[in-house]
Amino acid sequence: MVQAIAAVAVAAALFGLHQVVFMLNAPSMAVPSALWPLSGVAFAAAWLLRLRVVAPAVWLSSYLAFGLSMDAWVETLVGASVNALECVVAVLVLRQVHVKQHLFTEVRSTLLWLLIATLLAPSVSAFLLTFTEIATGELRGLGPALIFWLSLLVSNMVGAATFAPPILLAAQHRKLRHQWRRAAECVVLGAVTIGLAWLIFGDRDVVLPFPKHSLVLLALPSALYATFRLGPLTLAFVILVYVFGAYVGTGFSNGPFAAYSERQQLFAAGVFLAVLSATPLLVMALLVERRKNAEALSQALNRERLYRSELDHRVRNNFGNILALIDLSAQSAKDLQHFADAIGDRVRTMNAAHNLLAQHPHQPIELADLVVKLAPDEASHRIRVSGETCRVHPSRVRAIAMVLAELFTNARRHGALTHTGASIEVSWSRVQDEPAGWRLSWRERGCPSPTEPPGEGTGRKLVNGFARSELQGDAEWDFGDDGLNFTLTFRADARPTTQIPGYANTRRTPAPGSTTRIVSP
């Protein structure tokens, strides 16, 4: 991998060194051109691969490139080192601002990438190389030093802006398939791009009915067309075609910048390519960000509609449940006060379950939290709770809460909590032969001479109904010598429910064809 990166980087570096121009006030000193492809290749490789692998390859390729064109070993060594340092600085800073996952898909990340990769890192390398030239006596005076520093800065900036984005785009979207559906359109745009590149930067003897430099205005629309219509892979191809066309043509003094001096030609071509590369990237990031915002807004609206529908369903369901509890409690109430106490306890249980669900919306509830929430505060020291971690789905929380509330109510009125020395043990464990099955055990200890109440009262009817219909399990009652032994088997996974089990609505006549009547289990 190191050898492959080094080979590509050497080719890119030599391509840049072939575009060397000479300073007017120091004709014996070669100055880098307005394009240094090594910066773009190094940034892209370091961004896609490990920095510890890429940095040595960048140093090696820079050393070979400088060594083939320079005699001074100091400049060669420093040039290779600052190119590797430039790559390291850019990647480390970009990692700190977290743009990797949003590169070219958000305007902010794209602007940060352009700022750091094409300005901050090249400024470091240009300063160090200029300082080295001054220290070795190759540069004398502020003017030549500024010109040399500006040449290095612009060459690295343009190289990073023109070579890195196509490589990163192609790597990021290498598995993109939807473009092949427009293969003919891609081929036509590719042919048009190659033709425009030849017309703009080709043989200057070609006679056109209009000024040749006006063709430069057609380069950006073709890149924007690829951005809007055909996507990142085609855009990468368009940019690379114009990059090679501009510098090969400008190197032979052809194209719209041929009237300038050699230095001015290269700088003008560099500015043209930098604008041509950066503008579509920002436009594409804006389009992707706008599309993502539109999708996020659509998802938010869908969630809001879902929440409203769910809220409406739950409100109507709760009203129906309360009415059913009122009817069921009234059938067994001895007097008005007994009825008020019974219905009040059950509605408060529903409210406690609702509050617990509201604190953790759309999340499973710990069974231990539910037991502690429903246990009477004055008897909490007499209740021992133990068991594995059991997370109950929100659709089953209300049913388990009603079962526990009935057990606590029975213990407070007739069972263990009516005796000073009695206690309650609540435990649960998994059912081995059923993945979502659980078994809850309620054991009362210290109750003198417990007796089984005659018949099936309202509370037992509710518990049995909830166990069978909403919890898909069963309830077992055993009034032993020491108190109530109750076992509940239930499922803790999701199951939607809309009705109170264990209650037959005989006082209200349902609408024809409706399913609001609940059959007693």
DSSP for 13-79 reads HHHHHTT-EEETTEEEEEE--S--HHHHHHHHHHHHS-HHHHHHHHHHHHHHHHHHH-S-HHHHHHH
Q: How many CB atoms lie within 10 A of CB 64?
A: 18
Residue 470 token pair: 């909403």
22: β partners:
30
CA distance 377 to 380: 5
- The half-sphere exposure of 270 on its side-chain side, counting CA atoms within 13 A, is 26
Per-residue pLDDT of the chain (521 residues; tens, 9 = 90+): 556 666 666 666 655 555 443 333 334 444 445 677 778 888 888 888 877 778 888 888 777 777 766 666 777 788 788 888 888 888 888 888 777 777 777 888 888 888 888 888 888 888 888 888 788 777 777 877 887 788 788 888 888 888 888 888 877 766 555 555 677 888 888 888 888 888 888 766 666 666 666 777 888 888 888 888 887 888 888 888 888 888 778 777 777 877 777 667 777 777 888 888 888 888 888 888 888 888 889 999 998 898 888 778 777 877 877 787 787 777 767 778 878 887 887 888 877 777 777 777 778 888 998 888 888 888 888 889 999 889 988 888 888 888 888 888 888 888 888 888 888 999 999 988 777 789 999 998 888 765 556 556 778 888 888 888 888 889 998 887 788 899 999 988 876 544 444 433 333 333 333 333 322 22
Which residue, among 317, 439, 435, has the nearest Cα to 367 in the 3D structure?
Answer: 439
Helix (H) or strand (E) holding 224: helix 219-225
Q: How many CB atoms lie within 10 A of CB 487?
A: 16
Please, what is the Cα angle at 288 between 242 and 245, to 5 degrees?
0
Which residue, among 494, 490, 496, has the nearest Cα to 464 in the 3D structure?
Answer: 490
Q: Are 58 and 87 in contact (CB under 8 A)?
A: yes
CA distance 294 to 79: 47
Which residue type occupies 519?
Answer: V
Q: What residues have CB less than 8 Å from 478, skipping those under 6 apart?
A: 484, 485, 486, 487
Q: What residues have CB less than 8 Å from 184, skipping those under 6 apart?
A: none
pLDDT of residue 173: 66
Which residue type occupies 215?
Answer: L
Three-state DSSP class for residue 428? strand
365: β partners:
392
Q: Are 311 and 487 in contact (CB under 8 A)?
A: no
pLDDT of residue 487: 93
Q: Are 2 and 125 in contact (CB under 8 A)?
A: no
| Angular region, 472: left φ>0, alpha ψ -120 to 50, beta rest | left
Q: What residues have CB less than 8 Å from 94, skipping those under 6 apart?
A: 47, 100, 112, 113, 116, 117
Q: Are 42 and 87 in contact (CB under 8 A)?
A: yes
- The half-sphere exposure of 156 on its side-chain side, counting CA atoms within 13 A, is 32
List, in sequence order, the alpha helices (H) in 333-430: 336-359, 367-374, 394-413
Which residue, among 287, 296, 285, 291, has the nearest Cα to 109 in the 3D structure?
Answer: 285
Q: Where are the domains of the chain?
A: 2-299, 336-491
CA distances from residue 113 to 5, 102, 170, 355 in whole angstroms, order as listed: 22, 10, 17, 47
Q: What is the CATH number of domain 336-491?
A: 3.30.565.10
Helix (H) or strand (E) holding 490: strand 483-491
Sign of CA dihedral 381, 384, 388, 390: negative
DSSP for 454-486 reads SS--HHHHHHHHIIIIISSSEEEEEEETTEEEE
Q: What residues have CB less than 8 Å from 428, skipping those under 6 apart?
A: 367, 387, 388, 390, 438, 439, 440, 441
Strand order of the β-sheet with 474-480 is 383-387, 423-430, 437-445, 483-491, 474-480
Three-state DSSP class for residue 324? helix
Sign of CA dihedral 176, 178, 183, 184: negative
Residue 429 token pair: 């464990």
Q: Are 9 and 56 in contact (CB under 8 A)?
A: no
